[in-house]
Structure 1
Amino acid sequence: MLTPRHQALLMTLAGMTVGVAVFGTVLAINGNGDDDKRATDVVVTQTPSSPTPRGDGLQSDSLQFAAQTFGTDRSPVSAEVPTTWRANQDGERPRFQDPSGVWQIRFDTRGSSKAPDRQVSDRERSIKETQLNVLSRDNGTLVYTYVDGARGPRMGLSRWISADNGSSTAVEITVGGRPQDEAALRAVLERATSSLQLPDPNNRPN
């Protein structure tokens, strides 16, 4: 049987044990709170990555072409243009434009006594657009960029085609869009050039 002295000693030990357990629990709780705070800080201070803007432009493999006839009844001309580009001007100077108004192709079938190379030089001097930059002027084709006040950076490709070995010009073709559309614009210009059908001067109606 325990004496009163032994009982008092046991009670003291029990109290110390409970105190240590409670102190350990408090430390554990406080420690977890600090970890949670640090984790929250990491999440809050992270900077989300911004999506990279795509500047792929018009894709040439997305275009389909169909022949369009223009000019005059006495001198009809035809060429293939993108099927979704609609004519908003016809006759000898037709223009075909996509529904968004970003891309277009224009023809001038009136002809000129000037050779294609001369046409390139004259057009280069006549362009008054802001920040004009001529990229090339070879083989009767002028390629250039400029900045439009309303639409921003633009690109133009103008080609003059001769029907008499370069002595004069029969047709002008100009394609317009944005600099990032260059590959597709060149494809449109080449398709129009290769499919161009001019009237036979020997078979014109009287």
Structure 2
Amino acid sequence: MTDEYETMTVPELKDLLRERGLKVGGNKSELIARLLDNEDSDDTESTPVVSDVEVEEFDDDFDDEFDEDDDFFEDDDWDNIHTARQKPVLDEETAKALAFRAQQKKKQPAFRRQEWYRYKRLSRSSWRKPNGLQSKMRLNRKYRPPMVRIGYRKISSARGLHPSGFEEVLVHNLNDLEGLDPETQAVRIGARVGNRKRLDIHDKANSLGIRVLNQRKIVRKGDL
């Protein structure tokens, strides 16, 4: 059973722990140890139960209409089963702050560059503060779009957090994964990291139960 657990990913192990009502925090080795302890306790506490329900017996000439060719399930379908990703463990205050930040974002206007509607090249550019002496946008006229101001800033307790609630940590190598808390922190791999090192980071983060926010689907070819 230990070898079977070793081949499973951290999200799959956590799904088993949730089904048994156990704690889901920790790295892969701790999750496996928790599952094995639970199995040992189940074996010691289990007692044989004699059922009084009568079992209906079927004749040997019973015609089974089930055909293996008509089986609805295929082995290939099990490879595409979705496994839930790591979720953050949030306290009540942080969860409320994230919900409040989402409400603030809905009310925030889209900050557009001055006269973005007039020139196509300006519609594709980001925000620029107007500096013209007679700029009606700088003078804050009502018929012009609003400017960026400090009052539009979000709640401080949720500032810098990922929308899921994780604290983002930028990593570039395997050493950056050491000492991270998988319950509150998630990693984002740097854009200049190559596929070889990126795959190593994916494997180690999966074994530690750390969520990768920008995980890519990389096809292993050659010596990868």
Fold shared, TM-score > 0.5 on shorter chain? no
TM-score (norm 1): 0.21
TM-score (norm 2): 0.20
- Of structures 1 and 2, the larger Rg is shown by 1
Whichever structure has more strand as a proportion of its residues is 1
